[in-house]
């Protein structure tokens, strides 16, 4: 799939050749959503509000940092949020799993472990998001559920949908899979409550930035360094995320000279992947760090970041939540 991505953000003979398949895929997605709207397929409702944070493109947009911010925001309003996600890349057989900070990311996926460490709320991983969300409500008494990357998981009824958009790549060549990066047509955004752009927003969108909070040693996360500690130095930059180029560009803005090492999203790192034998520091993403800490050396760090959305995101979420609870 990785080789195909180069054809998703421009028009090439390959992307044009795949257009007929893309049209069929797009039609199927529209029909599927229509069947849920007509109640031919019945979504499962929970006794508490559900907020879905997702995207309509393949690859990273910054939704997981926004989920962490949202959980903290809801907690500040006096609520008991729980987070449910698929557990992509996990090898577990029995689901749901309530993820703790010391969970093996090979079992439940890297994003689940990262969320458990940073969100300070119950996190359930389950390919069946309905079952995982029900478990959080009944066993952990959560009074609001946040679904990470559940925009296309229509079986779980939702009260608020938030779509996160990559402000640089946006929607690529505008076509659905496999000719383009879209999981659903762009018109799907007409139905969401909020369009949050990781970058510069356009009309009808609100912005969000990802700000670095420091560098943490991978094998000893309590060891901190300032984001500018390596300014002017040459480092190895490692990223196994949906859009590695964004991470590399972030390091360059901090004044680092990055030797880039991109890997596929959710890549299962092994020690030889991140040992380069030249003594230079290795800097990676938070998501990758949870998979590398078992074999990391002292010269390996991750860049800690946090989402800082436009204040209107919190205002709109809280307004809609109060309407839902009153209703």
Domain that holds residue 102: 2-201+310-326
For all residues of the chain together, what is the average pLDDT? 93
Q: Are residues 163 and 278 in the same domain?
A: no
Q: Are residues 172 and 321 in the same domain?
A: yes
SS3 track for 61-118? CCHHHHHHHHHHHHHHCCCCEEEEECCCCCCCCCCCEECCCCCCHHHHCHHHHHHHHH
Q: Are residues 118 and 12 in the same domain?
A: yes
How many distinct structural domains can be found in the chain?
2
Residue ranges in the chain modelled with pLDDT below 50: none
Q: How high is the pLDDT of residue 2? A: 66
Task: Output the domain CATH number for residue 170.
Answer: 3.40.50
Cα→Cα distances 98→103, 164, 176, 244, Å = 9, 25, 34, 29
User: Who contacts 89 (Cβ-Cβ below 8 Å, separation ≥6)?
Assistant: 105, 106, 109, 110, 266, 268
Q: How high is the pLDDT of residue 88? A: 85
Q: Are residues 51 and 115 in the same domain?
A: yes
Q: Are residues 81 and 127 in the same domain?
A: yes
Is the pTM higher than 0.85? yes
Task: Give the pair of three-digit tokens for residue 170.
Answer: 């946006």
pLDDT per residue as tens digits for the range 61-112: 889 999 999 999 999 999 999 999 999 888 888 999 999 999 999 999 999 9
Q: How high is the pLDDT of residue 229? A: 87
């Amino acid at each position: 799939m990785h080789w195909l991505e180069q054809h998703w953000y421009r028009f090439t003979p390959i992307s044009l050749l795949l257009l007929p398949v893309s049209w069929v895929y797009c039609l199927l997605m529209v029909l599927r959503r229509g069947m849920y709207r007509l109640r031919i397929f019945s979504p499962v409702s929970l006794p508490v509000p559900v907020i879905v944070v997702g995207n309509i493109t393949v690859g990273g947009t910054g939704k997981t940092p926004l989920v962490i911010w949202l959980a903290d925001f809801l907690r500040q309003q006096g609520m008991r949020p729980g987070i449910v996600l698929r557990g992509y890349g996990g090898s577990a057989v029995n689901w749901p799993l309530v993820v703790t900070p010391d969970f093996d990311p090979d079992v439940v996926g890297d994003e689940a472990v990262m969320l458990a460490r940073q969100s300070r709320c119950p996190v359930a991983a389950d390919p069946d998001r309905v079952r995982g969300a029900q478990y959080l409500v009944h066993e952990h008494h959560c009074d609001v559920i946040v679904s990470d990357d559940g925009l296309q998981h229509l079986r779980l009824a939702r009260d608020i949908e938030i779509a996160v958009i990559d402000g640089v790549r946006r929607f690529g060549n505008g076509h659905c899979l496999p000719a383009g990066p879209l999981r659903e047509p762009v018109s799907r955004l007409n139905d969401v409550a909020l369009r949050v752009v990781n970058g510069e927003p356009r009309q009808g969108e609100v912005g969000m930035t990802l700000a670095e909070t420091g560098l943490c040693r991978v094998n000893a996360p309590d060891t901190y360094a300032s984001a500018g500690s390596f300014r002017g130095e040459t480092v190895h930059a490692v990223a196994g995320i949906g859009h590695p180029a964004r991470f590399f560009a972030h390091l360059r803005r901090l004044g680092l000279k990055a030797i880039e090492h991109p890997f596929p999203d959710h890549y299962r790192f092994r020690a030889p992947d991140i040992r380069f034998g030249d003594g230079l520091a290795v800097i990676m993403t938070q998501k990758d760090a949870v998979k590398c800490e078992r074999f990391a050396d002292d010269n390996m760090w991750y860049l800690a970041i946090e989402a800082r959305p436009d204040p209107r995101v919190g205002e709109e979420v809280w307004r809609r939540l109060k309407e839902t609870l009153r209703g």
